[in-house]
A = this chain, B = another copy of it.
Amino acid sequence: MNKFGSKLRELRESKGLLLRQVAAYLETDTAFVSKLERNERKAKREQVLQLAILFESPPNDLLSLWLSDQIYELVNNEEVAVNSLKITLKTIENK
């Protein structure tokens, strides 16, 4: 769904930061950050890492949500979504 964006908003609000402060940190505008939070735009991998630093959050936690959103976006609507995910998991887990 929008796990990454929701987390971002949660972290931002818990720190009492404004969109424009996060935007400045990422060297972009508030519209972009707003869109990140509502999953209307996709963050670059590098931006996820920067945000992890800003929010003192484990990078892999944010990366997992960020990647998961992308996977969801890819497989969502496909009847074979679950099956395909399982195939991929097996493939990866068997190195």
Contacts and interface: CB of A to CB of B under 8 A. Distances in A.
Interface in A50-95: 60, 63-65, 67-68, 70-72, 74-76, 78-89, 91-93
A3 interface: yes
Instruction: Determine chain A's interface SS by DSSP, over half rule.
Output: helix
Given A72-B88, A85-B88, A67 B60 contact: no
Classify chain A's interface size: 20 to 34
Nearest to A88: B71
A82 B93 contact: yes
A85 B92 contact: yes
Given A74-B70, A74-B71, A75-B71, A64 B92 contact: no
Interface of A: 1, 3, 60, 63-65, 67-68, 70-72, 74-76, 78-89, 91-93
